[in-house]
Chain A
Amino acid sequence: MNDIEELLRESLHSAPTPETRVTDPVATIERRANRARAFIAGGAVAVVAVVTAAIVVPLQLANRSDGPSRVGPIATEPPSKDDLPDAWAKGGSQLVTSGGGFLWHLRRDPASTSGAGIVDKLDPVTHQRVGSWPVSAPADFMAYGLGRVWVWGGGDGGYPDGELQVIDPNGGPDGSLGNRHTAFNGVAFANDKAWVTTGKAVWQLRPTDLQILSSTSLPGGSQQVGAVATESGQLWFRTDKSWVRIDPGTHRVVQTVSWRGWMLGAAGGDAIWTNDGSRLVALSPGLLSQGQSVAEGVRIQTPGPVTAVSGSIQDGLFVVAYATNDLSEDKNASLYYLSPQQISSGAAIDDKTPTVAGAHPYQLAADGAGGVNYSDDDSGFHWVP
């Protein structure tokens, strides 16, 4: 070893420990991890719940004779702010979505030391378990589409080994794509195919055997951080630079628009819920070339950034919004319910809006009775505003 090597070693080992500004590093990391999950999920998971709502709701109504029912005349009384959510699962609850007439609940496997999970099929009214499937790690996000439950995770940053798992609850073969250097961070359904973002390209998958039918690179090699299929069948992906539309027929990029807001879900027609500052906007991205005012539909003033949206059976809207731009402070988040009247009148979220203060789920599953299911802080909740 020569002079400079010895001096370098000494200087590195004797460097003073910097003063830290972080008083509770574990809490800080956990908040940021939750925020990262929400950001990566983008609108994809929330959107799927909205897209499938039309299918889900009639089936849920049909199932309601099996248990206690909330079905009946829609309440005419103004919602009370004292209506608190009921906890139907405690410990290990991670996500809940709806589809095929049931709720699908992803929870941690208490017997696993590797982070594996369990997907439970739940009665949407009683929340009783009627089926279960194991899923391996990473299982960070979940959606229901094409008659199947899709679970994915991984591929975040320096450790790009992602996995996509598919469960066919009707007895068909389950499948998975794993150990690939891909970042599965969004799934949307269009043209009877699954469209999966992989970090660098969008794959078209055949749901029956997960064969990759096409791979579409997005402009500029950008990362995709959201995927939404609109009710009109348009397929949009959010990259870190723009929103990009792929034609599901030709699997080619057919439109790129300058919009960087988050994708929060299908908003009816060809519109997508998105953020614009402290506004929740139903944006038709295909119309942006004609001007933002043309492309914007419903606009709702919110306290701060919105991280999840789901339509209710009563044409209202469940919204998770933060009070400030600091998404790391969960206490700043709340779950709100906006009535159809509030939405159509363009009213802002205010202190009369039914609210669950402190709720910060990043996926919402509206039910057929005007309520919503969600997982938050390791528990599963049902809220009827």
Chain B
Amino acid sequence: MDARLADYVRGQWPSLVRYATALCGDAVEAEELVQTALVRVTLRWPFVRDKDDPGAYVKRAIVHANINRWRRVRSRELPTETLPDIGIADGSSSFADQDAVRRALAALPPRQRAVLVLRYLDDMSEQEAANVLGCSVGTIKSQTHKGLTKLRATFATDEVMQ
């Protein structure tokens, strides 16, 4: 492995696992996801343009690996409209609210989840997110809208945000 990529992996490993957890909703799966993505990056390293700052490339690889993973397991992973164990937030605990949002996010379909993570964790513009996912800006807009709508519905926004 190239020394620059090795340094990046050593320094950013926990952060990448955290990022992948936001994408796939499961810490154990996330670690596997990061490994899969980094293997691809290692094999494709000669093509990485910005070798001194491979972060964006690696994150794109993680996003794509997650979508590919979901395609493979979709026969047994079914996103649900309702969350069985979601807590009822009382508005007094921001920690509980944030945890509930993360679990609601994990119940979204992977592509919607990816759009929201790119937009609200990576703070990407709609155009940037579209470039990463290889889709149109219109798709990003509609997926963002649908994702947020589902989050509101599952999170019982009226109660939490009062």
Interface size of B by CB at 8 A reads: 50
Contact between chains at B18 and A18 (CB < 8 Å):
yes
Cβ–Cβ contact B1 & A13, under 8 A = no
Say yes or no for B125: interface residue by CB 8 A criterion. no
| Given A12-B120, A12-B121, CB of A140 within 8 Å of CB of B43 | yes
Q: In the bound complex, do residue A7 and residue B42 qualify as a contact, i.e. CB atoms below 8 Å apart?
A: no
Tell me if A26 and B1 are in contact (CB < 8 A): yes
Distance (Å) between the CB of B42 and the closest chain A CB?
Answer: 4
Q: Which residue of B42, B44, B68, B97 is within 8 Å of A154 (Cβ)?
A: B44
For the complex, what is the distance from the CA of A26 to the CA of B41, rounded to whole Å? 12
In the complex where A20-B17, A29-B38 touch, is A4 in contact with B94 (Cβ < 8 A)?
Answer: no
Q: Are B15 and A17 in contact (CB under 8 A)?
A: yes
A8 adjacent to B151 (CB under 8 Å): yes
CB-CB under 8 A for A17 and B18, given A4-B151, A7-B97, A158-B61: yes
**A37/B64 contact (C-beta < 8 A), A7-B97, A13-B121, A18-B21 known:** no
In the complex, identify which listed stretch (B27-35, B80-88, B135-143) lies at the interface while the others stay far away: B27-35
Tell whether A17 pairs with B14 under 8 Å between CB atoms, given A26-B1, A29-B35, A32-B35.
Answer: yes
B129 within 8 A of A: no
Residues of A within 8 A of B10 (CB): 25-26
Which residue of the partner chain A has the closest CB to B62? A158
Flag if B22 contacts A15 (CB, 8 Å). yes
- Whether A159 lies near B105 (C-beta < 8 A) is no
Contact of B102 with A156 in the complex, beta carbons under 8 Å: no
CA distance A29 to B155 in the complex (A): 38
CB <8 Å contact, A29 and B68: no
Q: How far is the CA of A18 from the CA of B28 in the complex (A)?
A: 9
Q: Considering the complex, which residues of chain A in the window 125-170 have a beta carbon less than 8 Å from any beta carbon of chain B? A: 137-138, 140, 153-154, 156-159, 161
Contact: B38 with A3, CB < 8 Å?
no
Query: Which bracket fits the contact residues of A?
Result: 35 or more
Question: Which residues from A are CB-within-8-Å of B74?
Answer: none
The answer to the question of A14 belonging to the interface, with a C-beta cut-off of 8 Å to chain B, is: yes
Knowing A22-B31, A26-B9, A29-B38, the reply to whether A158 touches B47 (Cβ < 8 A) is no
Which B residues are CB-close (under 8 A) to A156? 40, 43-44
One digit per residue, 1 when the CB lies within 8 angstroms of any chain A CB and 0 when it does not, for chain B 67-95 equals 01000000000000000000000000010
Separation of A28 and B38 alpha carbons in the complex (Å): 10
A 1-41 binary contact with B (CB < 8 Å = 1; else 0)? 00111011111111111111110011011101100110000
Cα of A312 to Cα of B74 in the assembled complex, Å: 46
Q: In the complex, how many angstroms separate the beta carbon of A252 from the nearest chain B beta carbon?
A: 29
A308 to B148, CA, bound (A): 51
B29 CB to nearest chain A CB (Å): 10
CB distance from B97 to the nearest CB of A (A): 6
B73 to chain A, nearest CB (A): 15
B residues 47-64 near A (Cβ < 8 Å) are 47, 51, 60-61, 64
Residue B128 at the chain A interface, CB threshold 8 Å: no
How far does the alpha carbon of A32 sit from the alpha carbon of B151 in the complex, in Å? 37
User: Hey, which chain B residues are within 8 Å of A15, CB to CB?
Assistant: 18, 21-22, 98, 102
Return A38 CB to nearest CB of chain B, in Å. Answer: 12
Determine how close the nearest CB of chain B comes to the CB of A342; give it in whole angstroms.
Answer: 36
Among B39, B40, B61, B161, the residue within 8 A (CB) of A3 is B161
A12 to B21, CA, bound (A): 10
**Of B27, B43, B51, the contact of A18 (CB 8 Å cutoff):** B27
Q: B161 contacts A33, CB within 8 Å?
A: no
Tell me which residues across on chain B come within 8 A of A29, comparing CB atoms.
1, 9, 35, 38-39, 42
A341 interfacial contact with B, CB 8 Å: no
Cβ–Cβ contact B43 & A22, under 8 A: no
User: Which 10 pairs show the lowest CB-CB distances between chains A and B?
Assistant: A115-B46, A137-B46, A18-B27, A11-B98, A158-B64, A11-B101, A12-B121, A33-B42, A9-B120, A159-B44
A residues with CB within 8 A of B: 3-5, 7-22, 25-26, 28-30, 32-33, 36-37, 113-116, 137-138, 140, 153-154, 156-159, 161
Q: Can you list 14 A-B contacts with CB-CB less than 8 angstroms, sorted by A residue number?
A: A4-B151, A5-B120, A5-B148, A9-B121, A15-B98, A18-B14, A20-B13, A29-B9, A29-B42, A33-B42, A137-B46, A153-B43, A157-B65, A159-B61
With A29-B38, A153-B43 given, name 12 new contacts (CB 8 A). A4-B155, A8-B120, A11-B97, A12-B102, A15-B22, A19-B27, A26-B10, A29-B39, A114-B46, A115-B45, A137-B46, A156-B44
